[in-house]
C-alpha cells in the first residue's frame, strides 16, 4: 500500500526540540522530492520545508529557517524534521507529503495522517 | 508574495446541489493551481492540478476551471462524502501557498 506514516509529535516546552519522522512505503521513495506541511489548530495549511531526492537541496519557509532541519534516509525510506528552538506558534499537526513537480512548481500528491506538535509550558 | 483569497469560507448545501468555490490570486499564476479536499481528522487529498486536471481516482463530479487570477472548483452533484473543507494552492511562485479554506457543510 502506498502510504506515509508520521511519528514523533508530542508536547514540548518553548525553546525545546523535537524530531519528527515519516516512514514511506509502497513507492520508490528515493525518486521523489518530499515536504513537510503543517496546520495549526483550526487554521489552514502552511508549507514548511522541501528536500530533493538525494538531499542535496533543501528549502524552508522563512519562519522556520535556522530552527528546523529537513533530512532523509533513502535506505530507510524515511523523512525527518528536526525542530529546535520551538515556539508556541509552531503548534500544529505536521504532515509529511510527497511532492510532484508540475511545470514551475510543486503539488502534494500523497499525504500522511499527520503528527501533532504542541509547544506549551 | 502572492495573496490568495478563497471564498466563501463557509458554504451550506444539500446533497445533490451544485456548488462552486472561488480562489482569486493577487497576481496571475497561469494555470498553476491545485485543489485539495480535507475531511475532519484526516490528511488533505489532491483533487485537481493544473487548474482543471483531475487527479487519478477523483470522481468526475469534481471539476476545476480558470487561469490567470480567477479559479473555480465545482462539485456538480454534491454527495454525502463531499462534505469537507477544500483548499486551493498556487504553485506558480515560491513558496507554495494555500488558500484559507472553504468548509462545505450540510444545510
Q: Over the stretch A12-46, which tens digit does the pLDDT of each residue have?
A: 999 999 999 999 999 999 999 999 999 999 899 99
Q: Which chain A residue's Cα is nearest to B91?
A: A105
State the pLDDT confidence band at B1, using cuts at 50, 70 and 90: confident
- Which of A 70-109 lie inside 8 A of B, CB atoms? 95, 100, 102-109
**Runs of H (alpha helix) within chain A:** none
Residue B14 distance to chain A (closest CA, Å): 24
A40 interfaces chain B, CB cutoff of 8 Å? no
Q: Please name the residues in contact with A108: beta carbons below 8 A apart, sequence gap of 6 or more.
A: A35, A37, A97, A98, A99, A100, B34, B36, B44, B46, B89
Least trusted range by pLDDT, from A2-6, A100-104, B103-107: A100-104
Q: How far from the centroid of its chain's Cα atoms is residue A84's Cα?
A: 14
pLDDT of residue A105: 87
SS3 A75: helix
> Of A4, A6, A44, which to mutate for an interface test with B (greatest number of B Cβ within 10 Å)?
A44
pLDDT over 90 at B28, yes or no? yes
Cα B38 to Cα B41: distance, rounded to the nearest angstrom = 8
Amino acid at each position: 500500500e502506498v502510504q506515509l506514516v508520521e511519528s514523533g509529535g508530542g508536547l514540548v516546552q518553548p525553546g525545546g526540540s523535537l524530531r519528527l519522522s515519516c516512514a514511506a512505503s509502497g513507492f520508490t521513495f528515493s525518486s521523489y522530492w518530499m515536504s513537510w506541511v503543517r496546520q495549526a489548530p483550526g487554521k489552514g495549511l502552511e508549507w514548511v520545508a522541501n528536500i530533493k531526492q538525494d538531499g542535496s537541496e533543501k528549502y524552508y519557509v522563512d519562519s522556520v529557517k535556522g530552527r528546523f532541519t529537513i533530512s532523509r534516509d533513502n535506505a530507510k525510506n524515511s523523512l525527518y524534521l528536526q525542530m529546535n528552538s520551538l515556539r508556541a506558534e509552531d503548534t500544529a499537526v505536521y504532515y509529511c507529503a510527497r511532492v510532484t513537480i508540475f511545470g514551475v512548481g510543486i503539488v502534494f500528491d500523497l499525504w500522511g495522517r499527520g503528527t501533532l506538535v504542541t509547544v506549551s509550558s | 508574495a502572492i495573496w490568495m483569497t478563497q471564498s466563501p469560507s463557509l458554504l451550506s448545501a444539500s446533497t445533490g446541489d451544485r456548488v462552486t468555490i472561488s480562489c482569486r490570486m493577487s497576481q496571475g499564476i497561469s494555470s498553476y493551481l491545485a485543489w485539495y479536499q480535507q475531511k475532519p481528522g484526516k490528511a488533505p487529498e489532491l483533487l485537481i492540478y493544473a487548474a482543471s486536471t483531475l487527479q487519478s481516482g477523483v470522481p468526475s463530479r469534481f471539476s476545476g476551471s480558470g487561469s490567470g487570477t480567477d479559479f473555480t472548483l465545482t462539485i456538480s452533484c454534491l454527495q454525502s462524502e463531499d462534505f469537507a473543507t477544500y483548499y486551493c494552492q498556487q504553485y506558480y511562485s515560491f513558496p507554495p501557498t494555500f488558500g484559507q479554506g472553504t468548509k462545505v457543510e450540510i444545510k
